[in-house]
Amino acid sequence: MKNKELEQGDRLLFNGRKHPVRVTDVGEQKIEVEGPEGGLYYLKSVNTGFIISSSPDFSYTRSVENMRLTGSWESSGDCHWVHSLTGREVEVQSLETGFWQVSTDLDFDGPRYGFTSKEEAVSAAKDLIENTPEG
């Protein structure tokens, strides 16, 4: 992956991170990314790949391994989400029995007969989305 391949707003995972960082600026020499808690980090392309630093002068660096784009979950309604790269969907559906179900092809272990309230089902769907950034 090269600087030219990244755009502002892209989301990246690397080094075993569970939550993606968001690209805020792409320059010739470095890429500025924002962490999930708002911290700023800087990526720089080197011969062996990328290095990351929390200071813009790269005084302390770590190597970046397995960097990949993750895409993002986009809401299309209050109970339906679609992943921008994979196209996978997560949807909260009402059952005839009065229960609520999270419908998806992702690995999700919900209650056998569904959730008793819509709020519980939406909360479970949001947790699934948060824990599955790569779709």
Residue ranges covered by each domain of the chain = 3-68, 73-130
Q: What gap in Å lies between CA 43 and CA 8, rounded to an integer?
A: 13
Give the three-state DSSP class for 83.
strand
Q: What is the pLDDT along the chain (135 residues), one digit of tens a residue?
A: 666 678 888 899 988 888 899 999 988 878 899 988 888 989 888 888 888 888 777 777 788 888 888 888 999 888 999 999 999 999 999 999 999 999 999 988 989 899 999 999 999 999 999 989 988
Nearest-5° Cα angle at 129, 125 to 134: 150
CA end-to-end span of the chain: 20
User: What pLDDT, on the 0 to 100 scale, is given for residue 89?
Assistant: 95
User: What pLDDT, on the 0 to 100 scale, is given for residue 90?
Assistant: 96
- pTM exceeds 0.85 for this model: no
Within 13 Å of residue 28, how many CA atoms lie on the same side as its CB?
A: 0
